[in-house]
Amino acid sequence: MLHIRSLYKSYNSHEVLDVGTFQFGKAVYWIKGVNGSGKSTF
């Protein structure tokens, strides 16, 4: 199980990610997106 709290990411003054609280249950997940969309950063 993965639990995320207070995850924030910005580039200069541009906010790109703001997660207060999120919980992934037991399962298989993947993050899908184009190159440069922040998958690895997340």
- As a whole number of angstroms, the distance between CA 9 and CA 11 comes to 7
Q: Looking at this protein, which amino acid is placed at residue 14?
A: H
Q: Answer for the pair 25, 1: CB distance below 8 angstroms, yes or no.
A: yes
- As a whole number of angstroms, the distance between CA 38 and CA 18 comes to 13
Pairing status of strand 14-24 against strand 2-11: antiparallel
Number of domains in the chain: 1
Q: Along the 42 residues of the chain, how does pLDDT read in single tens digits? A: 888 899 998 999 999 989 999 998 888 888 899 998 888 877
- Full-model pTM: 0.47
Q: Answer for the pair 38, 16: CB distance below 8 angstroms, yes or no.
A: yes
Structural domain for 31, as ranges: 1-42
